[in-house]
Amino acid sequence: MVPKDLKYSKSHEWVKAVGNNTMMIGITDYAQEELGDIVFVELPKVEQQLKQQESFGVAESVKAVSDLFSPVSGMVVAVNEALGKQPELVNKEPYTNGWMIKISLAAPAELSGLLSAEDYEKLINEGSK
């Protein structure tokens, strides 16, 4: 499942514009499927500055611990507190209630470098061969 209206990173995060220069970020359905049942999500503090591709947190599943990478640069303006008690939201609703952080975008030009839904679908189809 790859929603058409989102942008994607090669490291399997999605980006969604949610208002005035603010981007919502999470991991894709493919990523949560690969990780397996997620048991813990570590997220950054609000106001932390992130560079593009910098690690913003960690997702721990029953299989592995994986870094989460920010697809864009900017300042964290919100984190999904619900994941503290219910990390399984990432598995169940990766594109909605399983979101991870919101970022105030520092360099809007970075968006054009991200993958479209079509390109991302190609990427994961190649990966699973």
Partner 1 sequence: MEKVIFEYHSQSTSYVPAADPQAAKKHIPVEYLGVEEVILPQVSEQDVIRHFTALSKLNFGVDNGFYPLGSCTMKYNPKINETVADFDGLAGIHPYAPEECVQGALQLVYELEGFLKEVSGFAGMTLQPAAGAHGEITGVLLIKAYHQQNHPEQKRTVILVPDTAHGTNPATAALAGYQVRQVKSDDQGDIDLDDLQRNLGPDIAALMLTNPNTLGLFEKNILEVSRQVHKSGALLYGDGANFNALLGLIKPAELGFDVMHFNLHKTFSTPHGGGGPGAGAVGTIKELTPFLPVPQVIKKGKKYFWKHQQANSIGKVRSFYGNFLIAVRAYAYFFALGAEGIARVGRQAVLNANYLKHKLENYYPVPYGRTCMHEFVMTPHHDWAVSTLDIAKRIIDYGFHPPTIYFPLIVHEAMMIEPTETETKETMDTFVNALGQIAAEAVQNPELLKKAPLTSPVGRIDEARAGRQLILKYEKGRDAR
Binding site for partner 1 (CB under 8 A): 36-40, 60, 62-65, 87-88
Radius of gyration of the chain (CA): 13
Measured distance CA(103)–CA(41) in Å, rounded: 17
Minimum CB–partner distance for residue 92 and partner 1 (Å): 12
Return the number of the residue (71 or 87) whose C-beta is nearest partner 1.
87
Minimum CB–partner distance for residue 52 and partner 1 (Å): 17
Minimum CB–partner distance for residue 89 and partner 1 (Å): 11
Q: How far is CA 91 from CA 39, 45, 75, 105, 116, in A?
A: 10, 22, 26, 26, 22
Return the number of the residue (4 or 129) whose C-beta is nearest partner 1.
129
